[in-house]
Amino acid sequence: MSIDVVIPAYNAENFLATALDSVLAQTVPPHQILVVDDGSKDATLRVVERYGDAVRLLTQKNAGPAVARNRGVAASKSSFIAFLDADDSWHPTKLAQQLAAMERDPRHVLCYTGLTEEHMDGTQTIMDAAEATSILETLRLHNPGITPSCVMLRRDAYESVGGFNPEADGCEDWELWVRLRQLGTFCAVQAPLTNYRVSNTGVSSNADILFRDFLRILDPSLLAGLKGWNRRVWRRRILGFQNFKAALTARAAGEKQKEVRYLRDSYVAWPSPFWPSRRFKVLLATLKNRLRR
């Protein structure tokens, strides 16, 4: 079984060589490495050109990573697709371990690995992969660290669900995982075989954009297959959790009023002070800060 690697790249000259070198160092080499330049304005193209025939370059006007990934898969030929963002990289055995896991059970449509989060201040956080057995329930609430760079999937499954939604701004990967999980099972390689660069800029730091994108996928994707009272309870639970996540994003961005608003809406949707447990501590800290002002 062959693997194609799809790398969307936008203004990636500072990191792309590290990503490509990590792919070329794999113990199971891919059939193709496809870099989709998403309208870069820096030297991204020149970086790719240095690799010659080892890398296939596709170019497009800037349209976002979802469109770029879809473009790469459309140009691929292999049974398995592995995604890698241009600022991330892999352990040399990443593809080998995922391929072995996928081939153990034909029902597996997606395999993900653990992560080493590389923060902007130079620190690292090791994250083992979430348990695959309960992943659907987890995915209804949030994306548990399954980034595109840690994913290998079956090409036919990807095509069956239509790939990444090009209209999504920040939840396109989460939404795709939910749709794929309805199609088959997931498997996980627990080890942190993916190096994921954490960024505190762009869409990932904007609570309103992320929450708006979450609302778009709530009913058609996250609540798919649920009916009646069970659907209503899950809807309130998800809203409670995602409002809480938005409050944390707003806090990290220093947006105090927005933090309070999302935290209030979190408790309106799900009033219990015991779940998630961290929420009550955040509420107390927020109230204490407001009393000091």
- 41-80, pLDDT tens digit by residue? 999 999 999 999 999 999 999 999 999 999 999 999 999 9
Exposed, middle or buried by CB within 10 Å (0-12, 13-18, 19+), for 75? middle
pLDDT for residue 202 is more than 60 = no
pLDDT score, position 281: 82
pLDDT score, position 133: 86
The whole-number average pLDDT for the span 124-132 is 91
pLDDT score, position 201: 54
pLDDT for residue 34 is more than 70 = yes
The whole-number average pLDDT for the span 89-116 is 97
pLDDT confidence band for 122 (50 / 70 / 90): confident
pLDDT score, position 29: 97
* Domains of the chain, start order: 3-197 (3.90.550.10), 205-292 (no CATH)
- What is the average pLDDT score of the chain? 93
- 226-256, pLDDT tens digit by residue? 999 999 999 999 999 999 999 999 998 899 8
State how beta strands 32-38 and 56-60 pair.
Answer: parallel
pLDDT for residue 121 is more than 90 = no
What is the rounded distance in angstroms from the CA atom of residue 221 to the CA atom of residue 91?
32
pLDDT confidence band for 222 (50 / 70 / 90): very high
Residue type, 36: V
Higher pLDDT: 285 or 83? It is: 83
pLDDT confidence band for 109 (50 / 70 / 90): very high
Q: Look up residue 194 and give its two tokens.
A: 């993916």
Residue type, 208: D
Could you give the percent of the chain with pLDDT greater than 70?
96
The CA-CA-CA angle for residues 113, 144, 141, to 5°, reads 150
pLDDT score, position 205: 77
The whole-number average pLDDT for the span 202-213 is 83
